[in-house]
Amino acid sequence: MLVGVPKEIKTREFRVGLVPSSVAELVSRGHQVLVETGAGAGIGADDDEYRSAGADIAASAADVFAAAEMIVKVKEPQPNEWMQLSPNQILFTYLHLAADAAQAHGLAASGCTAIAYETITDDQGGLPLLAPMSEVAGRLAVIEGASHLKANAGGRGVLISGVPGTAPADVLIVGGGVVGVNAAKMAVGLGARVTVFDRSVPRLRYLSDIFGNSITTRYSSNAVLAEAVKSADMVIGAVLIPGAAAPKLVSRAQLATMRPGAVLVDVAIDQGGCFETSRATTHDDPTYMVDGIVHYCVANMPGSVPRTSSEALNNATLPHVLALADKGVAALDDNQHLANGLNVAGGKVVYQAVLDAIGETAAA
């Protein structure tokens, strides 16, 4: 199969779909790889490194889309990318269609087969291709939140760790999954007072077991969460419903009850965000204020650490890339977990949670 890797074009997105070592794996199995020139610049991999791994270099993204049987990316295709997709072509990337009806319709109109990293499952019921970026995003959420607590960034002027004789920051993490666990690790390590909210009692028990007394766990009822945000310095939204739009857990009205200069970090923004006032931002312009509360809602947070992120992502995606390259869409018949990634096929959106989110029903 001819596998194509275009350069990512989302604002300040420096990751790459395939690192050189992954290219070498594909080539060793008899596949061709076509990489757009400069695609690996963000991770320090130049065209010569890709050539050494066995790839051919394309002069433009258009050349990649025109030739490739499968496109491997990181972020969801932008409009000028999905317009270049064609029937009988496989797209393998993050999609997050529940929050993007226009993209869902565009992919369906292209006739391509679109497989989403974020809905592929494993034997444990996890999301193994989402997990590595969730680990990165959870840790970055605390770093970015701490930075924006500074007064010059519009925050409360609080040092997350405090110093002897002063209080550390109160950090609330809403959601105890992979993002939440990694946010908690970082926040605890920096010395914050950390409370994690979740609706699963077994998950709260697990968190209590691994963190001990270094965090507080709370069941995430609406009333308890509403009371807790009043005294929070930082609230991290880390809630995920696989493939579906994120629930809105903090309302606009609740912002008025919060401390001025508190920071909301919405890691769920790819799926529409879990705060009512969330809207996607970029690394160039990452924050905005609503009612005196700082909102950090960058939709591609791991893109700011592309070397770590690209390597971690490829560790998870490569087995599936190889299976798709070897067998094409027939690989879905062999692996139900991979088949769970199928979001668009035959000119239709086929993933039920996406259909529900965009207000459509499955086509007959």
d(CA 97, CA 36): 25
Judge whether 295 counts as a catalytic residue: no
Active-site residue (options: 31, 148, 270, 320): 270
Active-site residue (options: 96, 148, 295, 320): 96
> Which DSSP letter does residue 151 get?
G
CA–CA distance from 273 to each of 6, 76, 81, 149 (Å)?
A: 28, 16, 24, 20
In 81-228, where do the E strands start and end? 90-93, 113-116, 170-174, 193-198, 215-219
In 136-220, where do the E strands start and end? 170-174, 193-198, 215-219
Three-state SS at 340: coil
Judging by beta carbons within 10 Å of its beta carbon (0-12, 13-18, 19+), is residue 24 exposed, middle or buried?
A: middle
d(CA 184, CA 180): 6
**DSSP per-residue string spanning 255-270:** HTTSPTT-EEEEGGGG
48 contacts: CB under 8 Å, gap ≥ 6: none
Query: Could you tell me the strand order of the sheet in which 342-345 lies?
Result: 56-58, 32-36, 2-5, 70-72, 90-93, 113-116, 342-345, 348-349
Judge whether 96 counts as a catalytic residue: yes
Whether 96 and 272 have beta carbons less than 8 Å apart is answered as: no
Whether 309 and 136 have beta carbons less than 8 Å apart is answered as: yes
- Bridging pattern class, strands 342-345 and 113-116: antiparallel
Phi, psi of 287 (to 5 degrees): -130, 160
Active site residues: 96, 270
